C-alpha cells in the first residue's frame, strides 16, 4: 500500500455506507412487491428519475475509458465510440423515449421482454431477446467494474482484485436491497458528487495548464491525433451502432419505464444534450491532450485505465486526487448497479418466470425474494468478465458488446413502427444477427474488423438481422389483429 | 390506476408518426451525412499546428446543445397545446 492508502479506504468506507443506507431508505419508502423491486412501480419522481437516466450513461467509461482509448489507440477510436452522441442520438431518443414511456404506462410493463411478448403475442421472442442481450449486458457490467477497480487501485496501491470484490459486493447489496428505486436514490448522490468533482478536476487541470502548455504543440504531433480508420467504417457505425443507444439499451429502456411523469422525459432531452456533448466529446479530448503532453509515451501500467488517476495524482497530489476521484468512482458504480439491476430484472422476469412457469404462480413475496437472489447469479457472471481484462475496456466493448446491442435493437425498432413484424420475424431477426455475428467474429473472420471490407465489426450481422426481419415479416402472415389493437391502443 | 393527469399525458403522445417525428427522422439522416462530411474535411490535418479534430469536437458540442434545447422547447410547446 502507498503512503496515502489508508485515507481513500476510510473515505470509500464512508461513501459506501451512505450508499447502502440510501438503498435501505428506498426499500422502506417503496414498499414491497415485484413491480416495485423491478421498476419502482413506474412511479419514480422527477429528481431520482433524471439523475438515474443521466448517471446510467455517465460513467467512468466516459471519463476514464474514452480518454484512455484515445491516448493509447488514437483519435479514431474516440470518434468511433462517441460520434452518435454529438450527432444523432438526441433525435433518436425523442423518437423512441415518449413511445416506450406511454406503452409501459398503458400496459404496466416491467422489462423490455414484457413489451416484446405483448407486441408479438408470444413468449418465444421474449426469451430469445433476453438471452441474446443478457450476454453483452453482463460483459458491459464487467467492464464497469474493471474501470472502477483499476482507478481505485491506482489511487491506493491496493490490488485491483481486492477492489473488484469490494465494488461487486457493494453493487450487489445495493441492488439486492433497494432494487431500481435504491439504485435511483444512490444515483442522486452519485450524480451530485460526479458533477461537482468533475468540475473541480477539470478546473484543477485548467489551473495547472501552464505546466503542460510548453509540451502541447509537441503532443499534437503525436500519431494518436492522426486518422486511420476508413470512411465505410464510420458510415456503418453511425447508421447501425447509433440506433440502440438512445433508448433501447436495456438499462436505459427500463429506466424509461420507471419514470412517473411525461415532463421528466422532456427534461431529459436537454440534460442529455449537455451531458453527452461534454462528457463524451470535449472532456475526453482535453484530458487526452493533457496526458499526451505530460507523458508523450504512455508509461507502463498494469491496467490501461490507471492512466487518468495516475495523471491527476501526479498533477495535484495524491490526497486531493483521491478525494476528488471519489465522485468519479461514485458515478462508475451508478452505471454498474444500473446494469446489474437490469440484468436481474430480465433474468428473473424474461427467462426464469417465462421458462419455469410454476414460479409465476408463486406468492408475490416469494417471487420478489427470488428476483433479489438473482443479484448473486449475475454478479458472479460479471466477475468472470472482469477478472483478467486483457484489453482496454473500450476495446472489449467495441469487439463484443456493441454489435450485439445493435443486433437486438434492430428488430425492436422495426416492430415498434411496422405492424407487419410478427413473432417469427422478430425471433429469426434476433437469432440470425446474433449467430452470424458470433460466426463472423470467432470463425470466419477472426481478425479485426471481422469482415474483408473494413465495415464496422457488427455491420454485416446487423444488416442480416434487418433483412431477415423484413423478409420473414413479408412471407408470413401479419400478427393477429387483436394483439395489434391492444398494443397500439391510443 | 393512473391519475387523471397522467392519463391526459398518455393521451398526448401518439404512437403513429407525427410531423415532429418526421422532422426527427429527417434530422437523423441529414446529421449523419453532414457529420460524415465533417469527418472527411474537419478531422484530418492541422490548422496552425492545432489538430482539426479539436475544432470538429468544439463545433459539434455546441451544435448538439443547441439541438437539444430546440427539441426540448418543441416538445414543451407540443404538450402544452395538446394536453
Q: Which residues of B touch A274 (CB under 8 A)?
A: 65, 68
Longest dimension (CA), chain A: 70
Question: Does the beta carbon of A485 lie under 8 angstroms from any beta carbon of chain B?
Answer: no
B30: contact with A, CB 8 A cutoff: no
Grid cell 478525494 in the structure block, residue:
A323
pLDDT, tens digit, for every residue of B20-43?
A: 999 999 999 888 888 777 776 767
Radius of gyration of chain B (CA): 19
State whether residue A300 is helix, strand or coil.
Answer: coil
Residue A243 has pLDDT above 50, yes or no: yes
Cis peptide before B25 (omega within 30 of 0): no
Residue A49 · residue A188 · CB < 8 Å: no
Per-residue pLDDT tens for A111-140? 999 999 999 999 999 999 999 999 899 988
How many Å lie between the alpha carbon of A289 and the closest alpha carbon of chain B?
10
- Which residues of A fall within a CB distance of 8 Å from B51? 75, 220, 225
CA dihedral sign, ordered A364, A366, A367, A368: positive
The answer for A 255-284 residues in CB contact with B (under 8 A) is 260-263, 266-267, 269-270, 272-274, 276-278, 281-282
- Side-chain half-sphere of A379: how many Cα atoms within 13 Å? 22
Length of chain B: 83
Q: Between B56 and A34, whose confidence is greater?
A: A34
Contact with chain A for residue B71, Cβ under 8 A: yes
Supply the pLDDT for residue A319.
77
C-alpha to C-alpha distance for A98 and A329, rounded to whole angstroms: 31
Banded model confidence at residue A3, pLDDT cuts 50, 70, 90: low
Domains of chain A are: 6-394 (1.20.1730.10)
d(CA A122, CA A454): 38
Contacts of A218 in chain B (CB under 8 A): none
List chain B domain ranges.
19-82
| CB–CB contact B49 A220 (8 Å) | yes
CB-CB contact of A36 with A182 (8 Å): no
Best to test chain B binding among A91, A281, A485 (most B CBs inside 10 Å): A91
Closest CA to A332 of A59, A52, A51, A56: A59
- pLDDT band at residue A164, thresholds of 50, 70 and 90? very high
What integer best gives the mean pLDDT of chain A?
88
Residues of A whose CB is below 8 A from B12: 262
Residue numbers in B near A90 (CB within 8 A)? 64, 67-68, 71
Q: Which three cell numbers mark A417? A: 413502427
pTM of the model: 0.91
C-alpha cell at A250: 436495456
Q: How confident is the model at residue A398 (pLDDT cuts 50, 70, 90)?
A: low
d(CA A447, CA A440): 9
Quote the percentage of chain A above a pLDDT of 90: 50
Helical residues (DSSP H) of A74-208, grouped into ranges: 75-82, 89-107, 112-120, 124-156, 160-207
Amino acid at each position: 500500500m502507498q503512503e496515502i492508502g489508508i485515507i481513500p479506504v476510510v473515505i470509500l468506507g464512508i461513501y459506501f455506507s451512505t450508499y447502502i443506507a440510501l438503498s435501505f431508505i428506498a426499500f422502506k419508502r417503496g414498499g414491497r412487491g415485484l413491480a416495485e423491486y423491478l421498476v419502482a412501480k413506474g412511479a419514480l419522481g422527477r429528481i431520482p428519475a433524471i439523475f438515474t437516466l443521466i448517471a446510467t450513461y455517465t460513467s467512468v467509461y466516459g471519463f476514464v475509458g474514452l480518454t484512455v482509448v484515445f491516448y493509447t489507440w488514437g483519435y479514431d477510436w474516440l470518434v468511433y465510440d462517441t460520434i452518435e452522441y454529438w450527432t444523432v442520438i438526441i433525435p433518436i431518443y425523442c423518437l423512441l423515449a415518449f413511445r416506450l414511456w406511454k406503452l409501459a404506462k398503458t400496459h404496466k410493463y416491467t422489462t423490455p421482454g414484457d413489451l416484446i411478448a405483448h407486441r408479438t403475442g408470444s413468449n418465444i421472442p421474449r426469451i430469445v431477446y433476453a438471452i441474446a442481450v443478457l450476454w453483452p449486458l453482463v460483459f458491459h457490467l464487467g467492464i464497469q467494474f474493471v474501470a472502477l477497480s483499476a482507478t481505485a487501485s491506482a489511487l491506493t496501491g491496493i490490488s485491483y482484485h481486492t477492489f473488484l470484490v469490494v465494488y461487486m459486493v457493494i453493487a450487489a447489496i445495493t441492488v439486492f436491497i433497494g432494487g431500481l428505486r435504491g439504485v435511483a436514490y444512490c444515483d442522486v448522490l452519485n450524480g451530485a458528487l460526479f458533477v461537482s468533482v468533475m468540475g473541480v478536476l477539470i478546473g484543477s487541470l485548467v489551473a495547472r495548464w501552464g505546466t503542460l502548455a510548453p509540451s502541447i504543440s509537441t503532443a499534437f504531433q503525436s500519431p494518436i491525433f492522426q486518422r486511420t480508420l476508413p470512411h465505410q467504417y464510420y458510415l456503418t457505425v453511425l447508421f447501425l451502432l447509433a440506433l440502440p443507444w438512445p433508448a433501447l439499451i436495456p438499462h436505459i429502456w427500463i429506466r424509461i419505464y420507471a419514470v412517473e411523469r411525461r415532463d421528466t422525459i422532456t427534461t431529459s432531452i436537454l440534460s442529455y444534450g449537455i451531458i453527452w456533448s461534454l462528457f463524451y466529446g470535449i472532456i475526453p479530448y482535453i484530458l487526452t491532450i493533457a496526458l499526451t503532453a505530460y507523458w508523450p509515451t504512455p508509461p507502463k501500467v498494469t491496467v490501461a485505465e490507471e492512466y487518468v488517476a495516475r495523471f491527476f495524482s501526479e498533477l495535484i497530489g495524491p490526497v486531493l486526487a483521491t478525494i476528488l476521484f471519489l465522485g468519479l468512482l461514485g458515478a462508475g458504480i451508478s452505471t454498474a448497479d444500473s446494469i446489474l439491476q437490469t440484468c436481474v430484472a430480465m433474468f428473473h422476469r424474461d427467462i426464469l418466470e417465462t421458462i419455469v412457469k410454476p414460479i409465476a404462480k408463486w406468492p408475490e413475496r416469494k417471487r420478489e425474494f427470488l428476483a433479489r437472489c438473482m443479484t448473486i447469479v449475475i454478479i458472479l457472471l460479471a466477475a468472470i468478465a472482469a477478472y483478467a481484462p486483457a484489453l482496454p475496456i473500450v476495446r472489449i466493448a467495441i469487439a463484443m458488446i456493441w454489435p450485439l446491442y445493435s443486433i437486438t435493437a434492430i428488430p425492436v425498432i422495426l416492430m415498434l413502427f411496422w405492424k407487419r413484424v410478427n413473432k417469427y420475424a422478430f425471433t429469426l431477426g434476433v437469432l440470425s444477427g446474433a449467430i452470424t455475428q458470433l460466426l463472423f467474429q470467432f470463425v470466419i473472420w477472426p481478425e479485426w474488423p471481422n469482415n474483408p471490407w473494413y465495415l464496422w465489426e457488427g455491420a454485416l450481422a446487423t444488416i442480416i438481422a434487418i433483412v431477415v426481419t423484413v423478409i420473414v415479416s413479408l412471407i408470413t402472415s401479419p400478427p393477429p389483429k387483436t394483439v395489434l389493437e391492444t398494443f397500439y391502443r391510443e | 390506476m393512473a391519475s387523471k393527469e397522467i392519463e391526459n399525458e398518455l393521451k398526448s403522445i401518439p404512437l403513429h408518426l407525427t410531423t415532429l417525428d418526421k422532422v426527427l427522422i429527417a434530422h437523423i439522416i441529414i446529421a449523419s451525412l453532414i457529420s460524415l462530411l465533417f469527418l472527411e474535411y474537419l478531422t484530418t490535418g492541422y490548422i496552425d499546428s492545432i489538430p482539426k479534430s479539436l475544432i470538429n469536437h468544439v463545433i459539434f458540442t455546441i451544435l448538439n446543445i443547441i439541438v437539444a434545447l430546440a427539441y426540448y422547447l418543441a416538445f414543451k410547446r407540443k404538450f402544452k397545446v395538446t394536453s
